[in-house]
Amino acid sequence: ETGVTQTPRHLVMGMTNKKSLKCEQHLGHNAMYWYKQSAKKPLELMFVYSLEERVENNSVPSRFSPECPNSSHLFLHLHTLQPEDSALYLCASSQVGGQPQHFGDGTRLSIL
Amino acid sequence: RKEVEQDPGPFNVPEGATVAFNCTYSNSASQSFFWYRQDCRKEPKLLMSVYSSGNEDGRFTAQLNRASQYISLLIRDSKLSDSATYLCVVMQDSNYQLIWGAGTKLIIKP
């Protein structure tokens, strides 16, 4: 049990599909994050929401669109992805202010 | 120079041995430091925070050397279950900017 739940665990989609990844945290944290992890590469921070406000967008292509309706939920909307977008997408949460992040199990995404 | 650098390994270590990893960081203003472990095809999990005075949690000891800008992780009496990738993480301010190393792969052999 991680306290951070991601769905789905696995997703296979075509380049023209639209799908959404969901993340929910039960830890009472006030910051949430999306990361991308490709094989043999460091974690890449994609988006950060702090107190439900987006505070970081690390030059992520517009085909990825985050949404944070409240402090417990985070979505990543996917549209017309490319094969190079195949990766493990991890959601994390934390308390703002130097606290460590706690991760969900991730969604393994494959783009056909 | 990468912001956070780790030796990718793999470190092949016999069970029961002691192993140590270092991680260097480039920003002298970095404030918080963590070690995470990540098992194959799983999410990273917090192993321990690293405090200025050094800290120990069972078989694991973490140390910070601000002058030389590195942190270290020492594992004593290594177990087969310690096999994983160990990720060094540096926070550059008190907000949220975590910089991740690429990880050091550790393989414990019987």
> What is the per-residue pLDDT for B12?
96
- Contact indicator for B79, B106 with CB cutoff of 8 Å: no
Which A positions 15-54 lie with beta carbon below 8 A of chain B?
Answer: 31, 33, 40-43, 45, 48, 50
pLDDT of A70-111, one tens digit each?
A: 999 999 999 999 999 999 999 999 988 778 899 999 999 999
The DSSP string of B20-46 is EEEEEES-TT--EEEEEEE-TTS--EE
Average pLDDT score over residue span A9-22:
93
Paired tokens of B3: 């912001």
Beta strands B98-100 and B84-91, pairing class: antiparallel
Is the pLDDT reported for residue B95 higher than 70? no
Chosen for mutation from B43, B87, B99, B100 (greatest number of chain A CBs closer than 10 Å) is B43
Nearest CA in chain A to B43: A105
> What is the per-residue pLDDT for B94?
55
Paired tokens of A53: 């406000």
> What is the per-residue pLDDT for A1?
53
> What is the per-residue pLDDT for B79?
97
Which single residue is written with the structure tokens 């909307």? A77
Percent share of chain B, pLDDT over 90: 75
Q: Cβ of B31 and A98 within 8 Å?
A: yes
- Contact indicator for B4, B104 with CB cutoff of 8 Å: no
CA gap A24, B32 in Å, rounded: 25
Which single residue is written with the structure tokens 């270290």? B72
DSSP designation for A51 = T
What size, in residues, is chain B?
A: 110
Tell me, yes or no, if A97 comes closer than 8 A to chain B by beta carbon.
yes
Cβ contacts (< 8 Å) between A88 and chain B: which residues? 41
Is the pLDDT reported for residue B96 higher than 80? no
- Contact indicator for B98, A101 with CB cutoff of 8 Å: yes
- Contact indicator for A25, A31 with CB cutoff of 8 Å: no
Average pLDDT score over residue span A8-36:
94
CA gap B13, B11 in Å, rounded: 6
Q: State the maximum Cα–Cα separation within chain A, in Å, rounded to a whole number.
A: 40
Question: How crowded is the C-beta side of A4, counted as CA atoms within 13 Å?
Answer: 25
- Distances from the Cα of A51 to the Cαs of A17, A35, A74, in angstroms? 31, 18, 12
Instruction: State how far residue A14 is from chain B, nearest Cα, in angstroms.
Output: 22
CB burial string B30-66: b at 16+ within 10 A, e below: bebbbbbbbeeeebbeebbbbeeeeeeeeebbbbbee
**Contacts of A70 by beta carbon, 8 Å cutoff, 6+ apart:** A52
pLDDT of A29-64, one tens digit each?
A: 999 999 999 987 888 889 999 888 887 777 899 999
